[in-house]
């Protein structure tokens, strides 16, 4: 089967684009070097959290943000697509009950006890929203090294969300090993929570330790694939609302979202080839004809009418920098924009500063096609989405999954329209 | 103002100062050491970790070479646990003058350095990543030495003999009564002043020695800070110290130490010992030099770059164009003879390898001034943890870890630090500064540079109830900022990807930037 579209990359941008194309009647093949970056995050869809002050309503803030950030990927997203992209994802991830909207950011507690603005989050995380304050009891497992609720609670008590809203947080320690292991890790704990006996034990140990009206926060390990049932059961048996806080990677909520999208794509008829890095490509008359992948055992060629580059940015390997300080777009060697000129700073001295490297990526036209330094389209049938795009500082803006979702959605839209 | 009494005050908490403290205490004096920062954070904590055989100086500076070899033997005896017996090769690469190697062999023989020629094929067998274009290999007893462990070992030994060290006590003034130095005024971490009354004061502040001497009104010399950068590469590229067999130059050594390999170094004359700039050009030169020693060097992840300053002594009258031309031998300034000031001497210059000898010479001079000559024993007694006289071996942490694989959390995966070791270090150091804990355990010094273990460590520090959340958060952020200094100039390849992941963890996932410290 020759696909209509080859999507390179299986992160949120690639999966969104591929799934939407498949649903639109395209034959799609996804080729990807790895599983993408969803496993690293809490599955929150952060549209815009800072500009640079904290954003309460992305819908209200986006207009001026886009005007003051020329070259930002959001600039190319048609206003009509925003709400559609969010609703589309919500419908595809029904079991996660994505909660929230463009109109108002949730303020979700982090494992360090800061508040993080997100537009959309799985209900199990959104239930910890502190936009209106509240009383929290954070459950700590001493065996889990990737979550420190005492520190989180103490910091939450210092960081008040607003002039009137109050947060009162405390930690409840559950000491000892988990399922006999001293160092179980998040995945082991998530699997333990899918066992009824383990849940019985946790509920028994928490009995009498929760105050009325306290929301009970757990590290985000409440089940892997059966999390909605696990969360619902715990809430019912504890008698108070239960929520999750993302831990250090691997992050279970990200794994859940990734698994859902992957399954939906395969079910809809999309093909996914993992462990396949693009190593070369063939083009003719400004059109890309095929990409070759190397899967270790053999090389394969993938031809298609349209191609989508969704390989991620620097952290995912979509953009690389070598020891001679040359940046490269790793799949097709597309021209990169925002590259700091030789002799200028690639980073600033403040670790949390605005690093020029963050903005390096591929510049695109209004059809999401890659542009060279003179603004000419490089390939007519290649489109770029997600973190590969130039012009964003996703960590500082708190816009990472937002960019991946809406640009992946928009690219699919552009291909379907053509 | 608080006043402390001490028989002997030692200024400077590097290897020399710690060695002096140990020496005076072992000779029966009551010693007190003050250091402006943490111990071994000046030059001693900022070198490549080489225990010299003396080979590096065999041609150019025979007396330094002999002194290095003598002290190499002593340290192997007394500080075995701090030393990995890597051995060292001097290799002639295609870029080196082949005639130097004969001079080298002669120089080693004259200095009493055991030198043995081994075949290129045997060397490549032992070190497969070494450039196959080398033409000659000479083996000498170089080794790797853990600076922090050695300095802390000296301080622990000194405290067994009644001594005490005060890190984070910065000297702001020297107390003089007429022509006699009677101690110093120091400022502690909280900014409070403390007066220290001492019978004798030894200035062992290395590259800062001229600044301290000036506080006592003693001058006439300068310390030329020779700034050099070093880069730690992501793993053990070699298990033997590799030196270029040529006159000392930039990028001529690769030292395998602990889990990494360190390439060094450059030599730029600085005007200020606190100038620890890292220039892009220096990084590029180091990477190119690494490629000459080990092909494929540039493809390896660079973990961290840092600069250190050599304390190179210069009397005001001496002429010199480059810092490398100044002798590396140490200098002892008897301020009684030089300046008519009693109770005060300065020891500076020298090398890490010879710190014990420098200490011995200093305390001998003190004894002569005090007309109280007591014998030195520092070369006889082993440092704490080195009593069994067995060398540190790479893999010892892994072996210990394997024994308790399922009953302890591992907090720093890169350096294999378990939770107990971390909690013990936090208790023992009594410090809430994660950077202090780093030096004690090598916490966060591996490939992820703290990306995973520092949040955990901050959480553990806070849960031990040593500090409140604001301080734990501040310590976390300070650690990240401090690491960043040595990261951003060498971020490329997988190191850059890792740094972006770490940035995602701290900004995207934890949002620590928004927390008030």
Same domain, A86 and A226: no
Q: Is residue B383 part of a domain?
A: no
Q: Is residue A375 part of a domain?
A: yes
> How far, in Å, CA of A350 to CA of B485, rounded?
9
- Other beta carbons within 10 Å of A2: 11
Same domain, A217 and A188: yes
Nearest to B508 among A41, A113, A145 (CB): A41
Same domain, B170 and B280: no
Distances (CA, A) of B505 to A103, A397, B455: 26, 14, 9
Q: Do A396 and B485 touch (CB under 8 A)?
A: no
Same domain, B27 and B125: no
pLDDT of the residue at B328: 54
Query: Which of the residues A246, A395, A402 would you substitute to probe the B interface, choosing the one with the greatest number of B C-beta atoms within 10 Å?
Result: A395
Task: Provide, as residue numbers in chain B, all residues whose Cβ is less than 8 Å from the Cβ of A317.
Answer: 497
Query: Which of the residues B459, B460, B487 would you substitute to probe the A interface, choosing the one with the greatest number of A C-beta atoms within 10 Å?
Result: B459
Q: Do A115 and B460 touch (CB under 8 A)?
A: no
Q: Do A182 and B408 touch (CB under 8 A)?
A: yes
Single out the residue in A240, A269, A294 at which a domain terminates: A240
Quick one: which of B201, B161, B153, B207 has its CA closest to B177? Answer: B201
Task: Provide, as residue numbers in chain A, all residues whose Cβ is less than 8 Å from the Cβ of B299.
Answer: 323
Q: Is residue A245 part of a domain?
A: no
The model's pTM is 0.95
Task: Provide, as residue numbers in chain A, all residues whose Cβ is less than 8 Å from the Cβ of B302.
Answer: 323
Same domain, A273 and A410: yes
Same domain, A260 and A355: yes
Q: Do A154 and B485 touch (CB under 8 A)?
A: no
Classified as helix, coil or strand, B386 is coil
Task: Provide, as residue numbers in chain B, all residues whose Cβ is less than 8 Å from the Cβ of A400.
Answer: 504, 508
The structure tokens listed for B257 are 């130490």
Please tell me what DSSP assigns to residue B92: E
Q: Is residue A110 part of a domain?
A: no
Q: Do B452 and A248 touch (CB under 8 A)?
A: yes
Nearest to A322 among B492, B501, B509 (CB): B492
Q: Is residue B29 part of a domain?
A: yes
CB A247 within 8 A of CB A147: yes
A322 CA to chain B: closest CA distance, Å? 5
Residue A297 φ then ψ, to 5°: -85, -35
Nearest to A155 among B411, B469, B493 (CB): B469
Q: Is residue A181 part of a domain?
A: yes
DSSP symbols for B116-164: EEE-HHHHHHH-TTS-TT--EEEEE--EEE-HHHHHHHHHHHHHHTT-E
pLDDT of the residue at B323: 45
Single out the residue in B267, B294, B311 at which a domain terminates: B311
Task: Provide, as residue numbers in chain A, all residues whose Cβ is less than 8 Å from the Cβ of B501.
Answer: 40, 249, 315
Same domain, A13 and A47: yes
Same domain, B192 and B287: no
Q: Do A351 and B473 touch (CB under 8 A)?
A: no
Q: Do A315 and B406 touch (CB under 8 A)?
A: no
CB B251 within 8 A of CB B266: yes
CA-based nearest residue in chain B for residue A46: B508
Q: Do A395 and B504 touch (CB under 8 A)?
A: yes
Q: Do A323 and B302 touch (CB under 8 A)?
A: yes
Q: Is residue A343 part of a domain?
A: yes
B468 CA to chain A: closest CA distance, Å? 8
Same domain, B191 and B204: yes
Q: Is residue A124 part of a domain?
A: no
Q: Do B500 and A148 touch (CB under 8 A)?
A: no
Q: Is residue A24 part of a domain?
A: yes
A324 CA to chain B: closest CA distance, Å? 8
B297 CA to chain A: closest CA distance, Å? 10
Same domain, B17 and B87: no
Nearest to B496 among A147, A314, A350 (CB): A314
Q: Do B470 and A158 touch (CB under 8 A)?
A: yes
CATH of the domain at B168: 3.50.50.60
Same domain, A269 and A177: no
Nearest to A314 among B456, B500, B507 (CB): B500
Single out the residue in A240, A272, A298 at which a domain terminates: A240
The structure tokens listed for A191 are 């699997």
pLDDT of the residue at B320: 45
Q: Do A350 and B408 touch (CB under 8 A)?
A: no
Q: Is residue B199 part of a domain?
A: yes
Same domain, B442 and B456: yes
> How far, in Å, CA of B92 to CA of B135, rounded?
6
Q: Do B469 and A325 touch (CB under 8 A)?
A: no
Degrees to nearest 5, angle at CA B421 with B416 and B427: 145
Single out the residue in B355, B370, B385 at which a domain terminates: B370
Query: Which of the residues A48, A128, A148 would you substitute to probe the B interface, choosing the one with the greatest number of B C-beta atoms within 10 Å?
Result: A148
Same domain, A263 and A232: no
Please tell me what DSSP assigns to residue B512: G
Degrees to nearest 5, angle at CA A372 with A371 and A378: 60
Same domain, B213 and B229: no
Nearest to A248 among B409, B484, B505 (CB): B505
Please tell me what DSSP assigns to residue A324: T
Task: Provide, as residue numbers in chain A, all residues whose Cβ is less than 8 Å from the Cβ of B466.
Answer: none
The parts of chain B modelled with pLDDT lower than 50 are 317, 319-327
> How far, in Å, CA of B226 to CA of B196, rounded?
31
Tell me the residue length of chain B.
Answer: 517
Same domain, A214 and A334: no
Same domain, B326 and B303: no
> How far, in Å, CA of A195 to CA of A197, rounded?
6
CB B213 within 8 A of CB B252: no
Q: Do B459 and A398 touch (CB under 8 A)?
A: no
Residue B297 is part of which domain span? Answer: 52-145+224-311
Residue whose structure tokens are 């591996």: B446
DSSP symbols for A211-266: -TT-EEEEES-S-SSSHHHHHHHHHHHHTS-EEEE--SSSPHHHHHHHHHHHHHHH
Same domain, A140 and A199: yes
Task: Provide, as residue numbers in chain A, all residues whose Cβ is less than 8 Å from the Cβ of B463.
Answer: 148, 150-151
DSSP symbols for A93-149: TGGG--EE-SSS-EEEEPTTS-EEEESEE-HHHHTT--TT-EEEEEEEETT-TT--H
Q: Which residues contact A124 (CB under 8 A, 6 or more apart)?
A: A96, A220, A222, A227, A228, A231, A242, A243, A244, A253
CA-based nearest residue in chain A for residue B407: A182
Handedness of CA B293, B294, B296, B302 (dihedral sign): negative
Of the CA atoms within 13 Å of residue B452, those in its CB half-sphere come to 20
Q: Is residue A260 part of a domain?
A: yes
Q: Which residues contact B287 (CB under 8 A, 6 or more apart)?
A: A323, B231, B297, B298, B302
CA-based nearest residue in chain B for residue A158: B516
Task: Provide, as residue numbers in chain B, all residues whose Cβ is less than 8 Å from the Cβ of A46.
Answer: 508
| Beta bridge partner(s), residue B136 | B92
Q: Is residue B120 part of a domain?
A: yes
Query: Which of the residues A352, A358, A394 would you substitute to probe the B interface, choosing the one with the greatest number of B C-beta atoms within 10 Å?
Result: A352
Same domain, B157 and B303: no
Same domain, B278 and B338: no
Nearest to B480 among A147, A183, A351 (CB): A351
Q: Do B515 and A155 touch (CB under 8 A)?
A: yes
Q: At what angle do helices A400-417 and A12-23 cross, to 10 degrees?
A: 30
Distances (CA, A) of B323 to B59, B180, B320: 18, 33, 7
Residue B108 φ then ψ, to 5°: -60, -45
Quick one: which of A89, A97, A2 has its CA closest to A404? Answer: A89
Parallel/antiparallel/unpaired status of strands A242-245 and A5-8: unpaired
The parts of chain A modelled with pLDDT lower than 70 are 161-163
Task: Provide, as residue numbers in chain B, all residues whose Cβ is less than 8 Å from the Cβ of A320.
Answer: 493
Quick one: which of B284, B282, B298, B306 has its CA closest to A322? Answer: B298
Same domain, B254 and B340: no
For chain A, the domain total comes to: 2
Classified as helix, coil or strand, A276 is coil
Task: Provide, as residue numbers in chain A, all residues whose Cβ is less than 8 Å from the Cβ of B406.
Answer: 181-183
Same domain, A209 and A348: no
At CB < 8 A and 24+ separation, what contacts does A163-170 make? A164/A133, A165/A130, A165/A131, A165/A132, A165/A133, A166/A133, A167/A130, A167/A133, A167/A134, A167/A135, A167/A136, A168/A134, A168/A135, A168/A136, A169/A109, A169/A113, A169/A135, A169/A136, A169/A137, A169/A138, A170/A136, A170/A137, A170/A138
Nearest to A114 among B483, B484, B512 (CB): B512
Quick one: which of A78, A84, A3 has its CA closest to A265? Answer: A3
Q: Do B516 and A158 touch (CB under 8 A)?
A: yes
> How far, in Å, CA of A310 to CA of A21, rounded?
14
Handedness of CA A7, A9, A13, A14 (dihedral sign): positive
Residue A391 is part of which domain span? Answer: 5-93+256-417
CB A152 within 8 A of CB A144: no
Cis previous bond, B301, omega within 30 = no
Of the CA atoms within 13 Å of residue B4, those in its CB half-sphere come to 22
CB B244 within 8 A of CB B93: yes
Same domain, B219 and B229: no
Q: Is residue B391 part of a domain?
A: no
> How far, in Å, CA of B180 to CA of B201, rounded?
10
For chain B, the domain total comes to: 3
Same domain, A305 and A224: no
Same domain, A275 and A411: yes
Single out the residue in A240, A267, A297 at which a domain terminates: A240
Q: Which pLDDT tens digit goes with each residue over B402-445?
A: 888 888 999 999 999 999 999 999 998 888 899 999 999 999 99
CATH of the domain at A298: 3.50.50.60
Q: How many CB pairs under 8 A join A and B?
A: 151
CA-based nearest residue in chain A for residue B460: A148
């Amino acid at each position: 089967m020759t696909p209509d579209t080859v999507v390179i990359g299986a992160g949120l941008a690639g999966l969104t684009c591929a799934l939407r194309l498949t649903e639109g009647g395209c034959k799609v093949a996804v080729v990807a070097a790895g599983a993408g970056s969803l496993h690293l995050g809490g599955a929150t869809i952060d549209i815009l959290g800072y500009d640079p002050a904290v954003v309460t309503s992305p819908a209200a803030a986006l207009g001026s943000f886009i005007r003051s950030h020329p070259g930002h990927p959001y600039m190319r997203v048609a206003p009509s697509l925003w709400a559609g992209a969010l609703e589309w994802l919500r419908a595809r991830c029904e079991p996660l009950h994505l909660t929230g909207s463009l109109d108002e950011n949730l303020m979700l507690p982090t494992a360090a006890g800061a508040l993080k603005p997100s537009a959309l989050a799985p209900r199990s995380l959104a239930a910890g929203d502190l936009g209106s304050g509240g009383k929290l009891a954070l459950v700590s497992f001493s065996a889990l090294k990737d979550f420190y609720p005492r520190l989180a609670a103490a910091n939450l008590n210092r960081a008040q969300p607003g002039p009137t809203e109050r947060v009162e947080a405390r930690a409840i320690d559950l000491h000892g090993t988990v399922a006999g292991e001293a160092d179980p890790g998040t995945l082991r704990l998530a699997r333990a929570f899918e066992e009824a006996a383990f849940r019985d034990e946790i509920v028994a140990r928490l009995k009498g330790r929760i105050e009325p009206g306290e929301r009970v926060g757990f590290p985000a390990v409440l089940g892997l694939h059966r999390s909605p049932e696990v969360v619902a059961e715990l809430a019912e048996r504890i008698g108070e609302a239960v929520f999750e806080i993302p831990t250090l990677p691997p992050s279970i909520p990200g794994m859940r979202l990734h698994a859902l999208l992957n399954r939906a794509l395969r079910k809809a008829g999309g093909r996914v080839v993992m462990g396949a890095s693009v190593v070369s490509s063939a083009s003719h008359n400004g059109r890309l004809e095929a990409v070759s992948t190397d899967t270790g055992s053999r090389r394969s060629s993938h031809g298609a009418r349209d191609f989508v580059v969704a390989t991620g940015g620097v952290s995912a390997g979509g953009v690389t920098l070598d020891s001679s300080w040359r940046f490269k777009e790793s799949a097709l060697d597309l021209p990169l924009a925002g590259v700091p000129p030789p002799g200028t700073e690639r980073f600033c001295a403040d670790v949390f500063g605005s690093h020029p490297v963050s903005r390096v990526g591929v510049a695109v036209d209004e059809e999401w096609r890659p542009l060279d330094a003179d603004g000419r389209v490089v390939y007519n049938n290649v489109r770029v989405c997600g973190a590969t795009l130039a012009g964003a500082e996703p960590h500082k803006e708190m816009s990472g999954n937002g960019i991946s979702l809406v640009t992946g959605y928009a690219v699919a839209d552009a291909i379907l329209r053509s | 103002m608080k006043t402390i009494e001490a028989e002997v005050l030692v200024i400077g908490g590097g290897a020399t100062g710690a060695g002096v403290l140990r020496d005076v205490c072992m000779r029966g004096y009551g010693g007190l050491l003050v250091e402006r920062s943490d111990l071994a954070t000046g030059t001693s904590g900022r070198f490549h970790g080489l225990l010299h055989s003396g080979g590096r100086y065999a041609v150019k500076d025979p007396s330094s070479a002999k002194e290095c070899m003598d002290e190499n033997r002593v340290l192997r005896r007394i500080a075995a646990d701090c030393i990995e017996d890597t051995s060292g090769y001097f290799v002639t690469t295609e870029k080196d003058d082949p005639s130097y190697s004969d001079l080298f062999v002669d120089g080693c023989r004259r200095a009493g350095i055991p030198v043995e020629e081994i075949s290129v094929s045997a060397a490549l067998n032992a070190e497969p990543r070494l450039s196959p274009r080398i033409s000659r290999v000479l083996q000498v007893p170089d080794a790797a030495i853990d600076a922090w462990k050695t300095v802390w070992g000296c301080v622990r030994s000194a405290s067994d003999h009644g001594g005490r060290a005060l890190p984070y006590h910065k000297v702001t003034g020297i107390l003089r009564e007429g022509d006699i130095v009677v101690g110093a005024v120091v400022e502690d971490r909280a900014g409070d002043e403390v007066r220290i009354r001492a019978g004798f004061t030894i200035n062992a502040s290395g590259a800062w020695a001229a600044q301290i001497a000036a506080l006592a009104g003693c001058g006439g010399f300068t310390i030329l800070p020779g700034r050099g950068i070093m880069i730690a590469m992501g793993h053990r590229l070699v298990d033997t110290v590799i030196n270029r067999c040529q006159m000392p130059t930039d990028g001529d050594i690769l030292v395998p130490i602990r889990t990494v390999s360190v390439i060094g170094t450059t030599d730029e004359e600085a005007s200020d010992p606190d100038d620890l700039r890292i220039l892009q050009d220096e990084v590029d030169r180091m990477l190119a030099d690494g490629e000459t020693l080990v092909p494929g060097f540039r493809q390896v992840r660079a973990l961290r770059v840092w600069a250190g300053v050599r304390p190179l002594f210069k009397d005001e009258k001496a002429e010199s164009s480059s810092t490398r031309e100044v002798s590396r031998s140490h200098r002892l300034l008897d301020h009684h003879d030089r300046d008519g000031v009693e109770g005060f001497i300065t020891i500076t210059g020298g090398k890490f390898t010879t710190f014990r000898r420098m200490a011995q010479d200093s305390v001998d001079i003190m004894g002569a001034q005090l007309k109280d000559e007591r014998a030195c024993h520092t070369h006889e007694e082993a440092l704490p943890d080195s009593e069994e006289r067995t060398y540190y071996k790479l893999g010892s942490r892994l072996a210990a870890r394997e024994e308790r694989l399922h009953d302890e959390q591992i907090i720093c995966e890169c350096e294999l630090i378990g939770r107990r070791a971390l909690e013990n270090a936090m208790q023992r150091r009594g410090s809430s500064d994660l950077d202090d804990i780093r030096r004690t355990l090598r916490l966060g010094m591996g490939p992820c540079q703290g990306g995973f273990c520092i949040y955990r460590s901050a959480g553990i520090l806070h849960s031990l109830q040593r500090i409140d959340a604001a301080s734990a958060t501040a310590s976390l952020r300070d650690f990240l900022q401090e690491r960043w200094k040595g990261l951003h100039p060498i971020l490329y390849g997988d190191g850059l990807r890792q740094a972006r992941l770490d940035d995602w963890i701290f900004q995207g996932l934890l949002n620590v930037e928004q927390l008030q410290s």
